[in-house]
Amino acid sequence: MSVRGSRVSPQESCPLAMCDGTGWILGPEDVARPCECRERTIAKARTRGVASVIPAKYRGVSFDRPPVTQIAHPVVAPVREFCDEIEANIADGRGLWLYGGPGTGKTTLAMVSSRIALEAGLSVAIYSMPKLLARIRRTFDGDAGEQSYLEFFGRLTGVDLLHIDDLGTENKTEWVTEQLYSIVNERYEARKSLVVTTNKSESELEQEIGERVVSRLVEMCELVPVFGDDRRWQNGTGSASDAA
């Protein structure tokens, strides 16, 4: 690999004053080797990616910090195992289905998985089910110049990991069922990974979003029951809306 072009003062662009700001050092015969600053630059870019995708409340989530350390080990273990091999699992289209009551930590564990995927350099899209449906509706109602339905559908089905929170909370309609089936089926056929959270059991979810969707989720995702008390109420932060 050769590196050519205008040079910039090392002190102004490379924090280690070793390269010209490109992240590469030109050696003999125009052969370049990576500068030590390149790894730092990549790490910062990954951090920015996390900040732009993960909701602010969950940006610091980790297996080594509360509230994850307060969740029972049998619940956390399969999620940690999934994350330990995050790149291989996502490459094979494997995902997680986190099921349990309100406030038990489903969303937090899902956010840990999404955060680790982002830090591994993978593309991630995160939506709660109500916001996802609202976003799809805007593609039909939006003004010219806004993202079309096909463009948005391409994003949903093209990212390495699609994280859907609160599956089954939407009102059941034929339109909702068809939208979900289109997204899940496209990712199923393309072997694309999904992480979903829901308060509904498998049979309840079949009633809400249809057997076709649930049967694909069963094949794509490892089911992880998340049990325990509602931690929002235990921490004194619960409200009627939190517990819904």
The CATH architecture one would assign to domain 42-231 is: 3-Layer(aba) Sandwich (3.40)
Number of Cβ within a 10 Å radius of residue 123? 15
Report the pLDDT value the prediction gives residue 24, as an integer from 0 to 100.
66
Contact 62, 39 (CB under 8 A): no
The DSSP 8-state label assigned to residue 64 in this structure reads: T
What Cα–Cα distance (Å) separates residue 113 from each residue in 66, 90, 107, 116, 211? Answer: 15, 11, 10, 5, 26
Task: Supply the pTM of this predicted model.
Answer: 0.74
DSSP 228: S
Q: Look at residue 45 in the predicted model and tell me its pLDDT.
A: 44
Rg of the chain in Å (alpha carbons): 21
Q: Rounded to an integer, what is the distance from CA 215 to the centroid of its chain? A: 22
Q: Is the peptide bond before 67 cis (omega within 30 degrees of 0)?
A: yes
pLDDT at 80: 97
> 45 with 51: CB under 8 angstroms?
no
Task: Output the furthest CA–CA distance in the chain (Å, rounded).
Answer: 69
CB of 141 closer than 8 Å to CB of 125: no
Confidence of residue 124 (pLDDT cuts 50, 70, 90): very high
Residue 159 pLDDT greater than 50, yes or no: yes
Domain boundaries of the chain, sorted by first residue = 42-231
Task: Please give the structure tokens belonging to residue 64.
Answer: 């080594």
Alpha-carbon dihedral sign for residues 231, 233, 239, 241: positive
